[in-house]
Amino acid sequence: MTGRRTAALLTAAVVALLPTTAQADVGYPDPQPVTGQQIIHDPTVIQLKSGGYVAYSTGGVIGARLSRDRVQWDDAGNAFAAPPSWWYEYNSTGDPWAPDISYRAGRYWLYYAVSSWGTNHSAIGVATSPSGLPGTWTDHGKVFSSDTTDTWNAIDPAVTAADGGLWMTFGSYWTGIRMVELDPGTGKARTGAPVHHLAARPDAPYAVEGPYVVRHGRYYYLFASYDACCAGVNSTYKIRVGRSASVTGPYADSTGTPMTAGGGDLFLASHGRYIGPGGESVFRVGGEDWIAYHYYDADDSGTPKLGLNRLSWTKNGWPVAG
């Protein structure tokens, strides 16, 4: 990741929670080779109606990259020329995190979070664009927020259309992964909508975040990032997954362990030079699912880079990175 959040994420307080070296597992596939601007954090990717791809990420004023072929990625500036003024309520630098892009009702929708490291005084905002390209976004303000009196943290949004409704998954640490229903017209949380609980870690520091829900067949699959990110080669991030017949849960792994009780099948973990994969999102290309994430390159001083893998499915309906 580049930008102001890097310094905050590499504080001594974070590093103190981590082992001196990450544990690697060689049983996972390498990401697809990419070229060009590979540095990224918390990527969200979509194939544009106009052709090619755009990836948005943490860093800058929601950093942007463009590609024609999903291999060569070029720096495309930022989604916004400057931070909307309301962002400064949540951090002094107007620094946004973890965007999520989607397309519906003839427009592209970009969700993102604004917060400060280590606090749940946080908010999720939304912007729309006719093209999905950087510099074309109109911000519409807050979608949902949390404060220190809440038991959840309103960051890391991901939006899913399901069962005739629109749902936003979010959450980081505190009590874990949550979900709230959105108004399809405004893209914002419905007034008085209940906050559903999808996943949690029973052990301190309750390290689960970065959720993403995707449907395959008759199930919804919840991907989430577990353990600690953002410390280069010392990161212990990994991606776990569970599934549910209902978008609001309950989600469980292949052994039946509920994700609210710490369950989740290990989907992707450190291996070789690819340390701490996480911050994931899923996108579709020609009927195929792909997963985007960041990892820390052990052969490049722990620089965060873009990981892309085809998402395959077993006969039993569980996802596999290809």
Active-site positions read 42, 209
- 3-class DSSP assignment, residue 85: helix
Which candidate, 27, 60, 3, 17, places its Cα nearest to that of 274? 27
In order, the DSSP letters of 170-222 are E-BSTT-EEEEEE-TTT-SBPTT---EEEE--SSTT--EEEEEEEEETTEEEE
In this structure, how many other beta carbons lie within 10 angstroms of the beta carbon of residue 190?
Answer: 15
Own/partner long-range contacts of 83-87 (Cβ < 8 Å, ≥24 apart)? 84/125, 84/139, 84/141, 86/125, 86/141, 86/142, 87/114, 87/125
Backbone angles phi, psi at 69, to 5 degrees: -130, 5
